[in-house]
Each structure stands twice: as C-alpha cells, then as structure tokens.
Amino acid sequence: MGEQVLYFEDVADGDEAPVRSLVLSRTDLVVYAGASGDYNPMHHDEVKAKAAGQPSVFGHGMFSMGFLGSAITDFVGEGNVRRFQVRFARQTWPDEDLRTRIVVTGKRVEGDDHLVDLDVRLHNVEGEEKVVGEATAVVPSRT
C-alpha cells in the first residue's frame, strides 16, 4: 500500500491534518536523551529535578518539536517541509497526554513550487499549548 499524497488542489484554508497523540512516558525521555545526547538531569533524574524546584522531570523541548514535526511530515509527505519554526510555550510532563493540531492557513504558487502554509501546535488534552509554530511545505500539483 503506497503513501497517501496530499495534492495542492485538494487543500483549502482551515483544513486540519489528522491528530497524532502521545502519552509522554519517562522511558520516552530516557530514549530521547540517548538519541540526542541531551543528558540534562532535569529530563531524567527525579531527585535533581526536584532539588532544582521542579515538580518532576520534564520533557525535552526538541522531543516535542520532533513529535510535532513528524505529524507535519505525515500530512504533507516526507521531504516536503521547507520551513518549520516553533516557540516552546510550556513544559511537558511524564504521563501527560499530548495532541497535535495542524491547520492550513494559506496556499500559494511561487515559481514551480506549490506551497501550503500551516499553523502547527502541540497541546495537552486540557488545551494547554506546549509548542506553537508555523510551517511551510511544498506539495505536488495535479496539473
């Protein structure tokens, strides 16, 4: 079964990508630390995190950005993201249920490129925004 293709002509302002969700686990934090080389104890050492005044360990911002980025790629296709920038709004916590929200905010043609602009967000089930940003992707045209 092939990958679904998002075509420029089939996208409209306000369209939303499928939601991706994840319950953030402590194992996710440890695995990400190993993969990224970011061994800041605030992400894996409960004792040190509490000694620093945190209620617990918390997620890496780049883990959250990467999770959101993979949802964007699922929507627009691999290799199609041209720009992706975010602001880290709040920390993520173990056992927090996180959800993506990706909304088409515009589309345009520049030269031979058919571009789709996106508002991209990661929030918990209570609606608290964790990562807020925007992205632009080039998608194929049917013509």
Q: In whole angstroms, how far apart are CA 10 and each of 76, 80, 107, 119?
A: 12, 16, 11, 18
Domains and CATH numbers, the chain: 8-24+64-138 (3.10.129.10)
Closest CA relative to residue 7, chosen from 115, 140, 143, 111: 140
The model's pTM is 0.92
Sequence-distant (6+) residues with CB within 8 A of 47 are: none
pLDDT digit of tens for each residue in the chain (143 aa)? 446 789 999 999 999 999 999 999 999 999 999 999 999 999 999 999 999 999 999 999 999 999 999 999 999 999 999 999 999 999 999 999 999 999 999 999 999 999 999 999 999 999 999 999 999 999 999 98
